[in-house]
């Protein structure tokens, strides 16, 4: 029986707190729309709209980035660390550039527009058509350090 690999990095890029307030306001606005049909209809719309908004906000933070001693888990991908090149920290304009006009459609991305920093990692496997990974992260230096700690 093999022991599990130690966890070197773990992040869940969740949505900002203000999005939860917007989800609640979405439910409230639906309640106002249905208020002319009665109080019961407005309450049902409030609960339904708030739940739907909350599900959307929760889904935005469902992706997880984890690194063990030999595998990178990014959303639903499992990538061996030996297939990865050097990690490049992207901040500000450079991160925006790789999200927009520098982006390659073949790249694997865990992109969250509400997170302004990211890490870009080249794929070294010649049989893999994916040129690089783009990972939105709130701690790009820690993620890059964890990726470089594999050697």
User: How many residues are recorded in the chain?
Assistant: 151
d(CA 116, CA 83): 26
| pLDDT beyond 80 at 149 | no
- Least confident window among 3-7, 121-125, 127-131: 3-7
- Which residue, among 109, 111, 113, has the nearest Cα to 121 in the 3D structure? 109
Tokens of 12: 């869940």
Contact (Cβ atoms closer than 8 angstroms) between residue 69 and residue 5: yes
Q: Span 140-147, mean pLDDT?
A: 90
d(CA 9, CA 143): 7
pTM of the model: 0.79
**Could you state, in order of their start, the residue ranges of all structural domains in the chain?**
13-60, 70-148
**pLDDT tens readout for residues 38-51:** 999 999 999 999 99
- Which residue, among 55, 71, 52, has the nearest Cα to 10 in the 3D structure? 71
Q: Span 67-91, mean pLDDT?
A: 89
């Amino acid at each position: 029986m093999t022991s599990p690999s130690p966890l070197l990095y773990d992040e869940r890029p969740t949505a900002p707190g203000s999005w939860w307030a917007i989800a609640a306001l979405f439910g409230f606005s639906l309640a106002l729309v249905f208020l002319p049909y009665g109080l019961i209809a407005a309450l049902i719309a409030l609960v339904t709209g708030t739940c739907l908004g909350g599900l959307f906000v929760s889904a935005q933070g469902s992706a997880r980035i984890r690194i063990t001693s030999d595998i990178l888990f990014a959303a639903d991908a499992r990538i061996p660390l030996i297939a990865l090149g050097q990690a490049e920290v992207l901040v500000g304009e450079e991160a925006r550039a790789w999200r927009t006009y520098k982006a390659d459609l073949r790249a694997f991305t865990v992109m969250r527009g509400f997170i302004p920093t990211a890490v870009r990692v080249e794929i070294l496997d010649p049989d893999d058509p994916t040129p690089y990974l783009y990972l939105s992260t709130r701690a790009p230096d820690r993620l890059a350090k964890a990726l470089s700690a594999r050697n």
